[in-house]
Amino acid sequence: MVKVLAILYDGGEHAVQQPKLLGTTENSLGLKPYCEEQGWEYVVTSSKEGKDSEFQKHIKDADVLITTPFHPGYLTADLIKTAKNLKLCITAGVGSDHIDLNAANERKISVLEVTGSNVVSVAEHVVMSILLLVRNFVPAHEQIMAGDWNVAAIAKDAYDLEAKVIGTLGAGRIGYRVLQRLVPFEPKELLYYDYQSLPADAEKAVNARRVEDLKEFLGQLDVLTINCPLHETTRGIINKETLSYLKKGAWIVNTARGALCVAEDVAAALESGHIAGYAGDVWAQQPAPSDHPWRSMRGPHGNGNGMVAHYSGTTLDAQQRYAAGTKKILDNWRTGSAQTPSDIIVTDGEYATKAYGQREKK
Ligand code: NAD
């Protein structure tokens, strides 16, 4: 019998109040009837850390693993060794760095994700986060909730987005959608840094300029938005040194992956006032520990923190799309039909995408 294991977050009362929360253990991506029809075992759990977790117990004989980046089941090389039957990993969403892709390749386990399923959801969150940092929204709101009224205290750190230089590190589906959405704000310039160039017509449509040197790219920015996957060469790409390339007072929005930035270096840059703000929804470990520096960091005026839990790509609209996409991938696998090529991250021992680093084909 085929065994499908899904690691999802618990919804509790919220899953009851909102049945569209498909990504919860309670609503199980809506896949229970489908698995039952096939006579498959479908195990759904949020228990994912440590050797006594349901994840580590059930991965040993699961054929298919479904995970989401929001409550990631970290499939390490060691766990892959124990997963004797595993053939397919499906990421319900976008971003499969929580799976050791090199180890998956060694075992010829396929890893697929629902490409594009939440890219608009994230791009909208990026634009919101840029605005809330640049306009100093969070302290302004906190002040009102606290019963205070002090315009000067807020306005001294509030700017317009118009005429700023904004750059995306990674100009794929999300990065490009961010650029598109920023055009009406009339920035001074839109820049991007990516080893893959945008098609000329796409570049022209948003009037973006590619900068090939990271230092030169960062040095021109008022706002940096990070939109590349996490892999060997992007881990910690924003660190003490690269932060120093940014102009004093720059703002950073990272909705890509927490581990792209060195947490302590970002917190130090914000606290010293070198950067004016950092916002995003991704953390190197999720759920983030209660003492993570990004929960409490603030700039010298108590401003500049726009962090939230990982939810930008799990809006109710996105959940519908990634639940449907997960079912499609599962059904293609069951029937032996071809998978949508853009959904494939690794298969047959090789990377099928150019987004996870510049790699030579074997
Ligand atoms: P994509 O594959 O369409 O684009 C990624 C781009 O990053 C590619 O153009 C690639 O060439 C570029 N890139 C890779 N390595 C780079 C490097 N070293 N320097 C510069 N550019 C590099 O992916 P996407 O759909 O735009 O998603 C990007 C990432 O966003 C995902 O991998 C995931 O980590 C994250 N994401 C987060 C959420 C969320 O809810 N916060 C949701 C979806 C995706």
Taking the chain (362 residues) in runs of 10, the rounded mean pLDDT of each run is 97 97 98 98 98 98 98 98 98 98 98 98 99 98 98 98 98 98 98 98 98 98 98 97 98 98 98 98 97 98 98 98 98 98 98 93 63
What is the reported pTM?
0.97
SS3 155: helix
Tokens 């349901």 correspond to 54
CATH superfamily, region 3-115+315-351: NAD(P)-binding Rossmann-like Domain (3.40.50.720)
23 lines ligand 1 (CB under 6 A): no
- Cβ neighbors of 181 (< 8 A, separation 6 or more) are 123, 124, 126, 127
174 lines ligand 1 (CB under 6 A): yes
- Cβ neighbors of 11 (< 8 A, separation 6 or more) are 18, 21, 24, 25, 26, 27
Helix (H) / strand (E) containing 173 = helix 173-182
What pLDDT is recorded for position 359? 84
What pLDDT is recorded for position 360? 76
262 lines ligand 1 (CB under 6 A): no
What pLDDT is recorded for position 60? 98
173 lines ligand 1 (CB under 6 A): yes
260 lines ligand 1 (CB under 6 A): no
Give the residue, by CA position, lying nearest to ligand 1 atom 10: 355
C-alpha 224 to ligand 1 mean position (Å): 14
Residue 274 appears among annotated catalytic residues: no
242 lines ligand 1 (CB under 6 A): no
CATH superfamily, region 118-307: NAD(P)-binding Rossmann-like Domain (3.40.50.720)
What pLDDT is recorded for position 260? 98
- Cβ neighbors of 51 (< 8 A, separation 6 or more) are none
Ligand-binding annotation for 281, yes or no, is yes
The residue from 286, 303, 305, 319 that is catalytic is 286
C-alpha 276 to ligand 1 mean position (Å): 24
Note whether 229 and 256 are within 8 A (CB).
Answer: yes
SS3 22: coil
Note whether 116 and 318 are within 8 A (CB).
Answer: no
Residue 286 appears among annotated catalytic residues: yes
Ligand-binding annotation for 231, yes or no, is yes
C-alpha 354 to ligand 1 mean position (Å): 11
355 lines ligand 1 (CB under 6 A): yes
229 lines ligand 1 (CB under 6 A): yes
304 lines ligand 1 (CB under 6 A): no
- Cβ neighbors of 126 (< 8 A, separation 6 or more) are 174, 178, 181, 225, 227, 253, 255, 312
Q: Which of 169, 174, 196, 340 to mutate to test the pocket of ligand 1 (most atoms within 8 A of CB)?
A: 174
Residue 177 appears among annotated catalytic residues: no
Ligand-binding annotation for 311, yes or no, is yes
What is the token pair recorded at 138?
């969070």
Residue 210 appears among annotated catalytic residues: no
Beta strand 275-280 pairing with 64-67: unpaired
Give the residue, by CA position, lying nearest to ligand 1 atom 9: 172
Where do the CATH 3.40.50.720 domains begin and end in the chain?
A: 3-115+315-351, 118-307
* Chain CA centroid to CA 260, Å: 10
The residue from 71, 125, 177, 310 that is catalytic is 310
C-alpha 207 to ligand 1 mean position (Å): 20
Helix (H) / strand (E) containing 58 = helix 54-58
Ligand-binding annotation for 346, yes or no, is no
Ligand-binding annotation for 139, yes or no, is no
What pLDDT is recorded for position 362? 60
Give the residue, by CA position, lying nearest to ligand 1 atom 33: 95
